[in-house]
Amino acid sequence: MSTLAARAERAAAVAARHADAVDREGRFPAEAVAALKAERLLGLQIPGQFGGEGAGLTQIAELCSTLGQACSAAAMVFAMHHIKVSSLVTHGLDSAWHCRLMERIAREQLLVASSTTEAGIGGDLRNSLCAVEATGEVFALGKDASVISYGAQADLILATARRNPDAATSDQVLVALFADQIALTRTGGWDTLGMRGTCSEGFRLEAREIPVEQILPKPFAEIAAQSMLASSHLLWSSVWYGIATYALDRARASVQAEARRRPGQVPPTALRLAEVANAHQAMRGTIVTALRRFEDAHGDVDTIGSVGFCVMLNNLKVTVSDMAVDIVRCALAIVGLAGYRNDTPFSLGRPLRDVLSAPLMIGNDRILANTAKLLLVQKGSGQLMSA
């Protein structure tokens, strides 16, 4: 079998060929996802006993970065898929049904989507208005989902809902729903500045006669705190790093081309390139450090759920999303008009539009407000190498 890196590069090459068309037409990156399935990259995290490869989040993050350099939308779809798979792997091992589900994901390379946001709750994934309505061994669910990224293309959707109609809005469960078990009625479009290929449309989701065993046994509060928060911020950050890497490469190629035109002279833009390369390295170091901390704490519920760990993840998201925007913007300034145009080898229009979504995916102001609350109860640490 080819190395994981080689498989990722082949899938990325397909994604790159269709990236402009995906963006221009605002369509799902079908070719890239087909390549991901052909390379069997959708089941990487699934444990070996269920037919997967037991890959860790660091390996998945590397692939997100590789894909991010090729097609931002395809990379984000891949990241969102693995965020949901991470929840299954971390919290589904005690359920026979969900173990069989993991076998299917690995065997059939099922694409998994998420339905956590809901109309009427302002994007707060830790609250639900809809509820599981169980009757005997089956349940029904109706949800006004303001966003289900690539919902129409997914093979499986993991949806949040209140545990029952009498439960508090924060007393949630996560349910697994196959595409042929649900009806999706489109309620909103996705005509956006960037990340157009994620097809993050709104839907009315209706499910009837679903076996209750498809409900994950762990409360969603645990799933969100112990796997979803970390995997989201780490994998999203890796996608944004990939976009920034692409922009830096275009800027470097532009400066090198200018240097070849004027032998013996250092182009004025070389200094700006050095500054961007420095920021890019700092961005990488931030992500690598966070990944290392997550891998070291893997399985340690107390550490992952601690205030300090949550603050670190929040800071990662805010810092990296802002850095990614700055790096791409500075790369555009270095390249100049050739980067502003859409018909040159140095074009940066698409990655700039895509990366502008980074501070908005769970708004940075909302995350900082949450961090502010956590800091009120966090104990201080002045040690340089302290966690």
Tokens (6 digits) for 142 = 């109706």
Q: Measured between alpha carbons, how far is 213 from 317 in angstroms, rounded to an integer? A: 34
Residues 321-334 have a mean pLDDT of 98
The predicted pLDDT at position 123 comes to 75
Query: What does the pLDDT average to over 372-378?
Result: 90
Q: For 227-243, what is the mean pLDDT?
A: 97
Query: In the predicted model, what is the mean pLDDT of the chain?
Result: 95
Q: What is the pLDDT of residue 383?
A: 56
Contact 50, 8 (CB under 8 A): no
pLDDT score for 387: 45
How far apart are the two ends of the chain, measured CA to CA in Å?
38
For residue 190, the Cα-to-chain-centroid distance in whole angstroms is 17
The predicted model scores a pTM of 0.96
Given this model, what pLDDT does residue 384 score?
Answer: 47
Q: Please give the share of the chain, as a percent, with pLDDT higher than 70.
A: 97
Task: Check residue 348 and give its pLDDT.
Answer: 98
Tokens of 194: 């960037």
Domain with CATH 1.10.540.10 in the chain: 4-110
Q: Which of 180, 203, 148, 199 is nearest to 30 (CA)?
A: 199
Which residue ranges does the chain devote to CATH 1.20.140.10?
Answer: 220-375
pLDDT digits over 286-312, tens only? 999 999 999 999 888 889 989 999 999
Domain 4-110 has CATH 1.10.540.10: yes
What type of residue is 79?
A
Mean pLDDT over 32-38 rounds to: 98
Q: What is the mean pLDDT of residues 119-125?
A: 83
- Superfamily of the domain at 220-375: Butyryl-CoA Dehydrogenase, subunit A, domain 3 (1.20.140.10)
Phi-psi region of 315 (alpha: psi -120 to 50; beta: other; left: phi over 0): alpha
Classified as helix, coil or strand, 305 is coil
State pLDDT tens for residues 67-99. 999 999 999 999 999 999 999 999 999 999 999
Q: Which helix (H) or strand (E) holds 274?
A: helix 269-297
| Residue 25 CB burial class (10 angstroms; 0-12, 13-18, ≥19) | exposed
**pLDDT confidence of residue 218:** 94
Residue 50 φ then ψ, to 5° = -110, 10
At 264 the pLDDT is 87
CA distance 104 to 146: 28
pLDDT at 315 over 80: yes
CATH 2.40.110.10 fits 113-214, yes or no: yes
* Residue 317 binned pLDDT confidence (cut-offs 50, 70, 90): very high
pLDDT of residue 377: 86
pLDDT(385) > 80: no
CB atoms within 10 A of CB 363: 13
β-strand partners of 183 = 206
Mean pLDDT within 133-147: 97
Pairing mode of beta strands 138-149, 200-211: antiparallel
Residues of the chain with CATH 2.40.110.10: 113-214
C-beta separation of 132 from 178 below 8 A? no
Cα 323–Cα 123–Cα 77 angle in degrees, nearest 5: 60
Query: Which amino acid appears at position 42 of this protein?
Result: L
